[in-house]
Amino acid sequence: MSIRHWKKAAAAGVILGLIMMMAPVIAHHASTPFYDSSKRVEIEGAVTRFVFRNPHAFLYLDVTVGNGDTSEWQIELGAPVGLRRMGWTPDSLPTGMIVKASGQPSRADGSQGLCCVRMTKADGSPVLEGGRVEERTPAR
Amino acid sequence: MKPEGNNKELIKSEAIGYTKDLLVKITVGTSVLVLLMLYSIPKLGAQGIDDHIPDLAGIWDGSPRARPVNGENVPWGEDNFPVLNERAIAYQQVWEEIMAPKYDCQPASSPAIQYDPYHMLVTQWPDRVLFRYEKDDQLRTVWLDGREPSATDFSIQGFSVGYYEDDVLHVTTTHFVFDVAGFDDYNGIPSSSQKVITEEYWRDGEDLKVTLTIEDPMFLRESTAYTTRWVAGREGYKLAAYDCDPESSRASVRFYPSKYK
């Protein structure tokens, strides 16, 4: 591939990436009552459960904390009825898979939830082959 | 013997005449009946072909391909946000997002379900129009045959009647049950059994458009309306089952910092 073609491909990728990041996915409820959009939290952990059901898919991770214990985090994703159209399936996040996620933390004291995440495999590649890493834009 | 023979001939001739008369009467009677039935079919089936019936049938895409995603400020903005009465404001003051019955999988209803960013399938039959929503697996039937709701026809989606006029489908829906989040799912505004939704559907080129008006004197000082559109669904698209899962529906509720103990 020539440099010109690489440039075109890169530009197309950037445009596609921007479009995908901006495109709000199907919403059942607004995220703001549950998650604090002014904060950002990053976690890395092993998948323990991926509940691929409407109205929202949820991913559960065991995250290792300082003393070696694990702590469960719950990540809210989009509606499977929409995620399926982007190639997601119930097998996209198998148990034991290590993922990195950064997103808005949940509001309730002591809770460990995230939404609106940017999510990758441990090596930084998209969870879904060819897919985006930015999960969704808040619905308001 | 001859007279007897003449009598027989006479009887035979009268019988033939009677049969002919009967056949004529049956034929005429049947023809009149068929004509009457043909004449009455369009009336039974709501409307005839002169009523400019628009082609609304098909899969319609209401996802972000067609419009912004729904939310607290969409489709209700500064220009059309409803004027609430004191009763509605009192409800809003005790409102918390987690009270919304959608967190227990109760389906969305009008005027929210029309704006939810999902696909829908419209089917036009002579006596009804069917709106099948992908969101929440809901089906609304708009009756075109002149029937009226009975006192027991209250439901989440209400009772819809309609008619075609000048390429527009007009729908009026009443008989909604009380819904604590029945205005739009986002703003803590309830709707009552006095809620009336009127919709006008029409084709605008390749798009399907609706203007929806809501009135509910129990909570709103005056009616308000929005207009939105659907684009044609991609070829071959089939509605997916929603199958709302109560666990997934309620999974984020524990993240809400409730003011009530």
Q: Which residues contact B156 (CB under 8 A, 6 or more apart)?
A: B106, B107, B109, B176, B177, B179
Distance (Å, rounded) from C-alpha B9 to C-alpha B16?
A: 10
pLDDT for residue B39 is more than 70: no
Structural domains of chain A, ranges and CATH numbers in brackets? 3-121 (2.40.50.140)
Q: How far is A90 from chain B (nearest CA, A)?
A: 14
Distance (Å, rounded) from C-alpha A25 to C-alpha B118?
A: 10
- Rg from Cα positions in chain A: 16
**Chain B contact for A20 (CB, 8 A cutoff):** no
Question: Would you state the pLDDT for residue B7?
Answer: 60
Confidence of residue A20 (pLDDT cuts 50, 70, 90): very low
pLDDT for residue B68 is more than 80: yes
Confidence of residue A125 (pLDDT cuts 50, 70, 90): very high
pLDDT tens, position by position, B160-189: 999 999 999 999 999 999 999 999 988 999
Cβ <8 Å between A30 and B69:
no
- CA-nearest of B256, B116, B136, B83 to B185 is B116
- Rg from Cα positions in chain B: 28
pLDDT for residue A9 is more than 80: no
One-letter amino acid of B258: S
Q: How far is B152 from chain A (nearest CA, A)?
A: 30
Residue among A26, A51, A140 minimizing CB distance to B248: A51
Distance (Å, rounded) from C-alpha B88 to C-alpha B219?
A: 5
Confidence of residue A19 (pLDDT cuts 50, 70, 90): very low
Per-residue CA distances from B254 to A107, B35, B94, B98, B181 (Å):
9, 67, 18, 9, 19
* Interval A85-96 mean pLDDT: 93
Question: Would you state the pLDDT for residue B1?
Answer: 41
CB-based burial, A12-51: b 16+ in 10 Å, e otherwise: eeeeeeeeeeebbbbbbbbbbbbbbeeeebebebbbeebb
Residue among A27, A111, A115 minimizing CB distance to B69: A27
Residue among A30, A35, A82 minimizing CB distance to B255: A35
Half-sphere exposure of B219 (CA within 13 A, CB side): 28
Question: Would you state the pLDDT for residue A23?
Answer: 32
Question: Would you state the pLDDT for residue B258?
Answer: 96
* Interval A30-34 mean pLDDT: 90
Residues of B in contact with A110 (CB under 8 A): none
Residues of B in contact with A82 (CB under 8 A): 63
**Chain B contact for A29 (CB, 8 A cutoff):** yes
Per-residue CA distances from A56 to A37, B108, B112 (Å):
19, 15, 18
One-letter amino acid of B80: N
Question: Would you state the pLDDT for residue B179?
Answer: 97
Quote the tokens at residue B103. 């967190």
**Chain B contact for A125 (CB, 8 A cutoff):** no
For the ranges A16-25, A33-42, A59-68, B35-44, the lowest mean pLDDT is seen at: A16-25
* Interval B31-53 mean pLDDT: 55
Residues of A in contact with B247 (CB under 8 A): 51, 53
Residues of B in contact with A23 (CB under 8 A): 64
Half-sphere exposure of B149 (CA within 13 A, CB side): 18
ipTM over 0.95: no
**Chain B contact for A90 (CB, 8 A cutoff):** no
Mean per-residue pLDDT over chain B, rounded: 88
* Interval A9-15 mean pLDDT: 41
Going from N- to C-terminal start, the domains of chain B cover: 1-44, 58-236
**Chain B contact for A108 (CB, 8 A cutoff):** yes
* Interval B110-122 mean pLDDT: 96
Distance (Å, rounded) from C-alpha B240 to C-alpha B224?
A: 32
Cβ <8 Å between B245 and A34:
no
* Interval A13-34 mean pLDDT: 54
- CA-nearest of A17, A37, A6, A79 to B136 is A79
Confidence of residue A111 (pLDDT cuts 50, 70, 90): very high
Confidence of residue B242 (pLDDT cuts 50, 70, 90): very high
Residues of B in contact with A19 (CB under 8 A): none
Question: Would you state the pLDDT for residue A17?
Answer: 33
Cβ <8 Å between A54 and B242:
yes
Please confirm whether the linkage preceding B111 is cis (ω < 30° from 0). yes
Q: How far is B210 from chain A (nearest CA, A)?
A: 20
Question: Would you state the pLDDT for residue B17?
Answer: 61
Percentage of chain B exceeding pLDDT 90: 75
Cβ <8 Å between B251 and A28:
no
Distance (Å, rounded) from C-alpha A140 to C-alpha B186?
A: 10
Residue among A34, A81, A140 minimizing CB distance to B72: A140
Residues of B in contact with A37 (CB under 8 A): none
Question: Would you state the pLDDT for residue A82?
Answer: 86
Question: Would you state the pLDDT for residue B3?
Answer: 46
CB-CB neighbours of B181 under 10 Å: 24
